[in-house]
Amino acid sequence: MDNKNALGRGIDTIQITKAREIHMQTVRSRMPQAVPVPTTQTDSMGPGNTTTNVAPQVGGCHIHRHRANNPNNPPCAHCGAVIIPAPKARFPAEDEPSITIGDWTISTRKKTILNSVEMEQWEEKLRGLALPEMIFGNSFVRVENKAHGFVMEFNALEALKAVKLEDSGIRVSYAHKWISSKKRNREKSADLQDTSLEIGHHYDWTYTTSYKGHFEGPSLKRDDQERIPIDKLSRPDPILFYDDMILFEDELADNGIGVLNVKVRVMNERLLVLSRFFLRVDGVLFRVYDTRLFVEFDENKLIREYKEHEDTYQNVLANKALKHVRDPKAMLRDSNWVASQLPLRKRECEVLQL
Amino acid sequence: MKLDETIALLKQGRHVPEETVYKLCQQSQELLMYEANVTRVDTPVTICGDIHGQLHDLLTLFEESGGIEKSRYIFLGDFVDRGFYSLESFLLLLCYKLRYPDRITMIRGNHETRQITKVYGFYDEIVRKYGNSNVWRYCCEVFDYLALGAIINESIFCVHGGLSPDVTTINQIRAIDRKQEVPHEGAMCDLLWSDPDDVETWSLSPRGAGFLFGKNEVDQFLHKNKFDLIARAHQLVMEGYKEMFGGGLVTVWSAPNYCYRCGNVAAVLTVDDQMDRNYTIFEAVPAQDDVGNAIIPTKKPQMDYFL
């Protein structure tokens, strides 16, 4: 903080200095953390312990190539131009960090869960769906190419529209026991004769969604032969823009978890978005539905890959890897580990060449 | 055991020796053992919803609502799981209970069970803090003795979750043998788990277990027992509280910024001698103090090369 002008300027300067400090405190929390090198890659592209958060690397930053679009953005560690947003900054109250590289603009917004008024409006919009407990309904991740009029966005409303309004066929592990005991009680007591044991209204209470993000502009073409180039994404290229957010989450009345999470990372030449729906119904099943959006900026090429993974709880729990772990339940909460264990049930791939 | 010293330790979120926890749990059990399933409480009283291990917010709750030295409290359960300070939050309430037995009533929530705490954080927290699960076992034994409900001035029924089709009068709750792990079925289970909803009659949750009840059930229950209000917790509300069914039922939620990321406010409901309802709203403590020291150990958004 520059304090040398603080003296002699009276109260105004002090207030300004204080305001600057408050602003610094807010934005400091968004400064890039130490960036670990990829751990999933097998063949490292360079020395394994390369640190990417060192002072400006000459030539590594391409200052003329990317542009931060939000004046609140703090400088990035790579070149002093890009914001790395963080979710916990509560101030400014609304923030839409954004970055532009070539024709491509990536922006995100993170806000709190919906309030009761918004919830009521959403109930109207999503007729028949009992809403999940936490909806971060004003948050989104958006990838845009203005030159070609293409926008793809990931948000909670569209994701929930893809949840089926019919019987999911899935029941919690103790459902059978529960219902039979209720039936016995009903036979015993006349008071309970009129108690319904029918499901009030059907919807997919696991909130399983096949949402792949929604877009406007030129259509994607189906091509299942296409692959996302994992080798390029495994390079420890500096991450210029990163965000990670939950769109909705429900604890399934403490029977597990259903959560839709979106992450984005933007490098100098490409970006990757991962939208993951993770479901664990305790004692019953696991699902991981992943959508990956890949863009190679210079080629103006976009690939969207969708994968469904699913298996029973018992099969996952029987995994040998869990035998020697002190707390297997912790592994079952880790969607990355679970995803690596589940068999692939479905894969679709689409391409867009602008 | 010096209760006031333990209270001071807990308020700072500092380590409490295993032996102290053991004694605390033993004494609490002896005290709770003599409580009825449904305890009677006089006004004025402050009704508090889910806490979920958010110790710093629990301290705010007491500050904002008069404090245990001056006011009476009913806690509607879900003291543990999800937050980082489940143990400290629960023990602080037990200490208050031992220190001021007539000023605090603790009702069991659906998280006060062995099965749920194993999955949702309390068990992990204990193993992390003590290296073994003894303290978790002591606490679970206390859970088994917590009351199932409370009645304020013969007119407000307090419960964690909601109603049960097996329960039409309070005497039916009094008849339950509560000193056990919460079963997966039956009246005790329903009281801790069920939810109010916009339904015509009792209906089954699409999950295949658990009841939803509507305005009719609430009206009938209130009429039959000559009550004015059902106060319950169990469900997250962005505004901290939500009245339903023409004011016959209220959900009170007392964990602000739930899970350290929802951005909701919290509320407690104070009922005075005239049976007037006053809600006190409070916000979460900031994750950092003025000079940037962490108050709550938040997870920094760690950039990673996800694939």
The CATH number of whichever domain residue B273 belongs to comes to 3.60.21.10
Q: Phi, psi at residue B9, to the nearest 5°?
A: -60, -45
Is residue A306 one of the residues assigned to a domain?
yes
Is residue B257 one of the residues assigned to a domain?
yes
Is residue B268 one of the residues assigned to a domain?
yes
Range of the domain at B39: 31-282
Q: What is the DSSP string of B252-307?
A: EB--TTGGGTS---EEEEEE-TT--EEEEEE-PPPSB-TTS-BSS-PPP-------
State chain B's mean pLDDT as an integer.
92
pLDDT at B125 over 90: yes
Find the CB nearest B203 among A29, A185, A200: A200
Supply the pLDDT for residue A2.
Answer: 44
Is residue A184 one of the residues assigned to a domain?
no
**Nearest-neighbour CA in chain A from B183: distance (Å):** 10
pLDDT at B304 over 70: yes
From the candidates B52, B111, B160, B234, give the one annotated as an active-site residue.
Answer: B111
Min mean pLDDT across A3-7, A149-153, A336-340 is at A3-7
Supply the pLDDT for residue A12.
Answer: 56
Residues A14-24 have a mean pLDDT of 59
| B175 in contact with A, Cβ within 8 Å | no
Find the CB nearest B207 among A33, A115, A255: A255
* Residue of higher predicted confidence among B290 and A71: B290
Min mean pLDDT across A104-118, A252-266, A325-339 is at A325-339
**Nearest-neighbour CA in chain B from A106: distance (Å):** 16
B83-113, pLDDT tens digit by residue?
999 999 999 999 999 999 999 999 999 999 9
Supply the pLDDT for residue A35.
Answer: 44
Does the reported pTM lie above 0.90?
no
Is residue B305 one of the residues assigned to a domain?
no
Cβ–Cβ gap B204/A199 under 8 Å: yes
**Nearest-neighbour CA in chain B from A132: distance (Å):** 11
Supply the pLDDT for residue A267.
Answer: 92
- Judging contacts by C-beta atoms under 8 Å, the chain B residues touching residue A33 are 300-303
B104-106 vs B73-75, strand pairing mode: parallel
Which neighbouring-strand residues pair with A101? A66, A104
* Residue B30 pLDDT grade (very low, low, confident, very high; cuts 50, 70, 90): very high
A65-120, pLDDT tens digit by residue?
777 676 555 555 555 544 444 333 343 345 678 889 989 999 999 888 998 889 99
Is residue A205 one of the residues assigned to a domain?
yes
Residues B111-137 have a mean pLDDT of 93
Is residue B12 one of the residues assigned to a domain?
no
Binding-face residues of B in 192-231 toward A, CB within 8 A: 193, 195, 197, 199, 201-210, 212
Is residue B166 one of the residues assigned to a domain?
yes
Side chain identity at A71, as an amino acid letter? P
Share of chain B above pLDDT 70, in %: 95
Is residue B301 one of the residues assigned to a domain?
no
Residues A300-316 have a mean pLDDT of 95
| B130 in contact with A, Cβ within 8 Å | no
Supply the pLDDT for residue A333.
Answer: 85
Min mean pLDDT across A192-196, B23-27, B100-104, B294-298 is at A192-196
Which neighbouring-strand residues pair with A306? A291, A348
Is residue A241 one of the residues assigned to a domain?
yes
Q: Output the CA–CA distances (angstroms, integers) from residue A330 to A254, A317, B120, in the order listed.
A: 16, 12, 10
Cβ–Cβ gap A202/B206 under 8 Å: yes
Binding-face residues of A in 113-132 toward B, CB within 8 A: 113-116, 119, 130
Binding-face residues of A in 50-109 toward B, CB within 8 A: 84, 86-88, 90
Min mean pLDDT across A247-251, A279-283, B178-182, B283-287 is at B283-287
Is residue A185 one of the residues assigned to a domain?
no
Find the CB nearest A112 among B120, B165, B262: B262
Is residue A8 one of the residues assigned to a domain?
no
Supply the pLDDT for residue A34.
Answer: 40
| A45 in contact with B, Cβ within 8 Å | no
- Judging contacts by C-beta atoms under 8 Å, the chain B residues touching residue A174 are 184-185, 209
Which neighbouring-strand residues pair with B38? B149
Is residue B287 one of the residues assigned to a domain?
no
- Judging contacts by C-beta atoms under 8 Å, the chain B residues touching residue A203 are 206
Q: Output the CA–CA distances (angstroms, integers) from residue B258 to A10, A338, B164, in the order listed.
A: 42, 26, 27
pLDDT at A300 over 90: yes
Share of chain B above pLDDT 90, in %: 82
Supply the pLDDT for residue A150.
Answer: 96
Helix (H), strand (E) at residue A53: none
B148-200, pLDDT tens digit by residue?
999 999 999 999 999 999 999 999 999 999 999 998 888 999 999 999 998 88
| A233 in contact with B, Cβ within 8 Å | yes
State chain A's mean pLDDT as an integer.
79
Supply the pLDDT for residue A262.
Answer: 97
Q: Judge whether B160 counts as a catalytic residue.
A: no
Supply the pLDDT for residue B282.
Answer: 94
- Judging contacts by C-beta atoms under 8 Å, the chain A residues touching residue B251 are none
Range of the domain at A344: 31-43+50-167+201-353
pLDDT at B130 over 80: yes
| B251 in contact with A, Cβ within 8 Å | no
Number of domains in chain A: 1
A-B interface: how many C-beta pairs under 8 angstroms?
159
Is residue A130 one of the residues assigned to a domain?
yes
- Cα separation, A303 vs A306, in Å, equals 10
Is residue B86 one of the residues assigned to a domain?
yes
| B5 in contact with A, Cβ within 8 Å | no
Binding-face residues of A in 162-201 toward B, CB within 8 A: 167-168, 170-172, 174-179, 181-182, 185, 189, 191-192, 194-201
Q: Is the dihedral of CA B64, B65, B71, B76 positive or negative?
A: negative
Find the CB nearest B185 among A178, A198, A201: A178
| B237 in contact with A, Cβ within 8 Å | yes
- Judging contacts by C-beta atoms under 8 Å, the chain A residues touching residue B242 are 116
pLDDT at A347 over 60: yes
Number of domains in chain B: 1
| B283 in contact with A, Cβ within 8 Å | no
Supply the pLDDT for residue A182.
Answer: 76
pLDDT at B80 over 70: yes
Is residue A194 one of the residues assigned to a domain?
no
* Residue A192 pLDDT grade (very low, low, confident, very high; cuts 50, 70, 90): low
The winner for highest mean pLDDT among A22-31, A71-80, A187-196, B201-210 is B201-210
Q: Phi, psi at residue B5, to the nearest 5°?
A: -65, -45
**Nearest-neighbour CA in chain A from B165: distance (Å):** 7
Cβ–Cβ gap B184/A327 under 8 Å: no
